[in-house]
Amino acid sequence: MDAVQKWANTLKIRELMKVLERRGFNPVFAETVDEARKVVMDMIPEGSTIAVGGSVTLNETGILDEIRKPEYKFIDRYNTSSFEEMLDKYREGYYADFLVSSTNAITMGGQLVNIDCTGNRTSQIVFGPKKVIIVAGVNKIVETVEDGIKRAKSIAPMNARRITHKTPCATDDCMTCCDCDVQPRVCNVTSIVDGCHYFPKRITVVLIPENLGY
């Protein structure tokens, strides 16, 4: 990314941060991926219990690797032998000290927009873990809630493909949402977090002026 584009991205993020702060979030700017990783891990004391939402961004930033270190109690949703065991890990996440995740979209009005398959990520962002840390690249920023839902639907085929869900949108012939009714559908739950007024600063949003994740 060239310097001019990064400058423009930074200005957009700075404007969004003002809105997020007014709505009770704790917005944080990170200049680079490395800085974002340090910011996130500095917020989490050793010995903390950590849950994560499924996220390409956490992989790309190296945050997931840090969370796996023995200094933390990672609720490892990726290391399970059955679907039921995975669901049990999801349920443990509600009692975590921290949820670390990304988001499908953030509006310039200060709303987090997400669409989920099981709903563990969407619901834990809303309530459960004591603290939530959202890590997002500038590509997640949209104008409106409607734009956020549209964005989430547009990347659903890639997420379905990534997690090997056999949905119509994940086939070579489709790659677009068709509002399917199959069991492994990934668009079952939509959430809009409109602010953190009741639990001020419970949700930290770390914003990076680079494109990250889907």
The span from the CA of 101 to the CA of 125, in Å, is 8
Give the 3-state secondary structure of the chain: CCHHHHHHHHHHHHHHHHHHHHCCCEEEECCCHHHHHHHHHHHCCCCCEEEECCCHHHHHHCHHHHHCCCCCEECCCCCCCCHHHHHHHHHHHHHCCEEEECCCEEECCCCEEEEECCCHHHHHHHCCCCEEEEEEEHHHEECCHHHHHHHHHHHHHHHHHHCCCCCHHHCCCCCCCCCCCCCCCCCCEEEEECCCCCCCCCEEEEEECCCCCC
Residue 150 lies in a domain: no
Q: Which two tokens stand for residue 132?
A: 């939530």
Residue 21 lies in a domain: yes
User: Would you call 57 helix, strand, or coil by DSSP?
Assistant: helix
**pLDDT computed for residue 26 by the predictor:** 98
Residue 182 lies in a domain: no
Residue 76 lies in a domain: yes
Residue 135 lies in a domain: yes
Residue 110 lies in a domain: yes
Cβ(214)–Cβ(56) below 8 Å: yes
**pLDDT computed for residue 208 by the predictor:** 98
Q: What is the CA radius of gyration of the chain?
A: 17
The span from the CA of 124 to the CA of 90, in Å, is 9
**pLDDT computed for residue 178 by the predictor:** 73
Q: Which domain holds residue 33?
A: 3-141+188-208
pLDDT along the chain (214 residues), means of 10: 92 98 98 97 98 94 97 93 92 97 97 93 96 98 97 80 76 72 82 96 98 93
Residue 136 lies in a domain: yes
Q: What is the domain-level CATH number for residue 67?
A: 3.40.50.10420
Residue 103 lies in a domain: yes
The span from the CA of 168 to the CA of 40, in Å, is 36
- When divided into structural domains, the chain yields a total of 1
Cβ(17)–Cβ(96) below 8 Å: no
Q: Which two tokens stand for residue 151?
A: 């964005």
